[in-house]
Amino acid sequence: MRGIPRSLRGRLLAWLLAATAVLGSLALVDTWREARQTANDVSDRVLAGSALAIAERVVVAEDGSLEVDIPYVALEMLTSAAQDRVFYRVDGPPGTFITGYQALPALARREGQSTAFDDAFFRGEPIRVATLARSASTGISSVPFTVTVAETTIARRQLSRSILLHSAIRLLLMMAGASIIVWIAVSLSLRPLYRLGGAIERRSPDDLEPIGEQVPSEVEGLVETVNSFMVRLKSALEALRHFTGNASHQLRTPLAVVRTQLALAARSADPADAQAAIERADAAVANAERILAQLLMMSRIDAASKGAETDLVRLDLCALARSVTADHVPPAAEAHIDLGFEGEGQALMRGEPLLLAEMLKNLISNALLYAGRGAEVTVRVFSRDQTLVLEVEDNGPGISADNQARVMQRFERASGPEEHGSGLGLPIVEEIASLHSGSMALETGRDGRGLKVVLRFPAAAA
């Protein structure tokens, strides 16, 4: 939102001022109520004193009536700089008016209350009224009377406003002081973040080591997240460098073959020789395509092994192996290789279907590539002691015991670099098995011939 300050200082100040304004408004309302109460209390004491001074001048005349000599000093004590107007009234027994402003309202007293106070209006002005009940003694009996004194409320309103104004000024000064303190405190508190930003800015693009700057505990989570991201970014960049390096190295030979064969086809006068050169170039392109696909798969496996999320689902390994084997029956027939499958029932496990399918494709493709014409290749799946076993066995030339450890390394081939393949098939199989908590082993085939690749995976819980 555009109206919200973007800086931490601005946000903290906005929240502080808003909260202080709300709380200050509530405080000022309470202050106004207390100021009015205080002004009334002070004024009521003066009114009560004036009424008492007048009451002390009420006497009983010889004819039994009441007389009063108004002491004007009692009324002068009510005057103020605000030029309030003062009114009084003295009443004898019920229904008897003695002196003063007859229209001035007298207050009814509660039981047990000698003086009553209240606000009223007189001659169109707000007034504060005090009514005092007393009695004058004749020596034989007592004659009751009341004294009512009132004044306008100009002075007390001015006093209330003065108290409220001073409270508002103190509140504004407090808000200004708090704003300055918050500004300075936030500036000092943000210094570690400025140092952190400077340290990151001074880094070279190749420096992806974790950040070691000391920061407040509130920012440690952010720094840890950034460090985690930098570790993942470093792994991704390393994987990219490995991929580009491997691709440039592995694709150089097939591309050179393509160029050579196309050049031979262009110079050849014999259509048969030109066709043969084109076919060899096409085979080299297919080999390059296969190498590139395996390099991409290896990069994906590397990313998964370094923390990328892999979605594992419950699947039937037997059904998956049967399907992949069926897909390779046509190319096996073209190579004059007998490809078969052995396995019944379900073999449930948790895995990533695409990776497991790629693993099987690599195993079967390797077997078809190296077993030789007329060989037999068998894919079998079975369960043993809560473990699923996947085997791909052929009766071809196999791999000697001395070479078995070497072919498990990337870009190493069983019979040297002149052979077909990228040297990635078995390493890809082993890493996919490892991602699924499985294991891989190379064994000699039946009757001491060929190669049997054995993969073991934990079975899924029923």
Residue 410 has pLDDT above 60, yes or no: no
User: How many alpha carbons lie under 13 Å from residue 295 in its C-beta half-sphere?
Assistant: 21
pLDDT in tens, 253-262: 667 777 787 8
- Strand order from edge to edge, sheet including 97-100: 97-100, 86-91, 142-152, 125-137, 115-122
**Whole-number Å distance between alpha carbons of 426 and 422:** 10
Q: Which of 38-47, 317-326, 397-406 has the highest mean pLDDT?
A: 317-326
Residue 383 has pLDDT above 60, yes or no: yes
Angle made by CA atoms 382, 385, 390, in degrees to the nearest 5? 30
Q: Is 6 exposed, middle or buried (0-12, 13-18, 19+ CB in 10 A)?
A: exposed
SS3 462: coil
**Whole-number Å distance between alpha carbons of 91 and 133:** 10
Give the gyration radius of the chain's Cα atoms: 52
Residue 416 has pLDDT above 50, yes or no: no
pLDDT level of residue 322 (50, 70, 90 thresholds): very high
228: how many CB neighbours lie within 10 A of its CB?
Answer: 12
Q: Mean pLDDT across the stretch 304-322?
A: 76
Using CA atoms of 237, 238, 243, 249 in order, give the dihedral in degrees to the nearest 10.
Answer: 130
- The number of helix segments (H) and strand segments (E) in the chain equals 11, 14
381: how many CB neighbours lie within 10 A of its CB?
Answer: 24
For residues 9 and 35, the model is more confident at: 35
pLDDT level of residue 216 (50, 70, 90 thresholds): confident
**Whole-number Å distance between alpha carbons of 50 and 43:** 11
pLDDT in tens, 63-107: 778 888 887 766 666 655 457 788 889 998 887 898 889 899 988
Angle made by CA atoms 417, 423, 428, in degrees to the nearest 5? 180
Tell me what pLDDT residue 1 has. Answer: 43
Residue 319 has pLDDT above 90, yes or no: yes
In degrees rounded to 5, what are phi and psi of residue 252?
-60, -45
pLDDT in tens, 368-377: 888 888 899 9
**Whole-number Å distance between alpha carbons of 447 and 430:** 25
Strand partners, 59: 67
**Which 8-state DSSP code applies to residue 139?**
S
**Whole-number Å distance between alpha carbons of 303 and 352:** 14
**Whole-number Å distance between alpha carbons of 262 and 265:** 5
Domains of the chain, CATH where assigned: 8-164 (no CATH), 217-303 (1.10.287), 310-458 (3.30.565.10)
Q: Mean pLDDT across the stretch 376-384?
A: 92
Please give the share of the chain, as a percent, with pLDDT higher than 70. Answer: 81
Which residues 6+ apart lie within 8 Å of 262 measured at CB? 277, 278, 281
Tell me what pLDDT residue 456 has. Answer: 93
CB 177 within 8 A of CB 17: no
Which residues 6+ apart lie within 8 Å of 316 measured at CB? 346, 347, 348
Tell me what pLDDT residue 411 has. Answer: 46
| Residue labelled with tokens 């009521």 | 44
In degrees rounded to 5, what are phi and psi of residue 147?
-120, 125
**Whole-number Å distance between alpha carbons of 427 and 433:** 10
Question: Which bin fits 371, alpha (ψ -120 to 50), beta or left (φ > 0)?
Answer: alpha
pLDDT in tens, 330-365: 989 988 999 999 988 888 999 888 888 888 888 898
Tell me what pLDDT residue 209 has. Answer: 79
Tell me what pLDDT residue 121 has. Answer: 92
Computed over every residue of the chain, the mean pLDDT equals 79
**Which 8-state DSSP code applies to residue 361?**
H
Percentages (nearest 5) of helix, strand, coil residues in the chain: 50, 20, 30
pLDDT level of residue 401 (50, 70, 90 thresholds): low
> Which of the residue ranges 203-207, 300-304, 426-430 would you say has the lowest mean pLDDT?
300-304
Tell me what pLDDT residue 317 has. Answer: 92
pLDDT in tens, 179-194: 888 888 888 877 887 8
Residue 419 has pLDDT above 50, yes or no: no
Nearest to 458 by CA among 353, 337, 321, 350: 350
**Which 8-state DSSP code applies to residue 107?**
P
Q: Which of 16-25, 127-136, 409-418 has the highest mean pLDDT?
A: 127-136
> Which of the residue ranges 205-214, 300-309, 351-360 would you say has the lowest mean pLDDT?
300-309
pLDDT level of residue 196 (50, 70, 90 thresholds): confident
pLDDT level of residue 455 (50, 70, 90 thresholds): very high
